[in-house]
Structure 1
């Protein structure tokens, strides 16, 4: 389980999961207009 590729995949997965959580939090906390502005 110490393959570099596996570690990179795990890090990417964690980054994607955290991005999803943060994205959901932003969507719920801010209005759609603010979300679109920050998205651009």
Structure 2
């Protein structure tokens, strides 16, 4: 399945944004967890 066909373009755009946000939250979560470990 090719995601760059016009049919999937809008979906792909939204999906990429969601994945990007997930990546940011995961990164923040890891950072927070690391800080928590260092404090304890």
Runs of 4+ in 1 over 3 A off after TM superposition: none
Question: In the comparison of the two structures, how many residue pairs are matched?
Answer: 29
Which of structures 1 and 2 has the bigger CA Rg?
A: 2
Could you tell me the TM-score, scaled by structure 1's length? 0.68
Could you tell me the TM-score, scaled by structure 2's length? 0.68
| Offset, 1:28 | 0.4
What is aligned with 1:20?
Answer: 30
RMSD: 1.3
| Offset, 1:5 | 0.1
Unaligned runs of 5+ in 2: 1-9
What is aligned with 2:6?
Answer: none
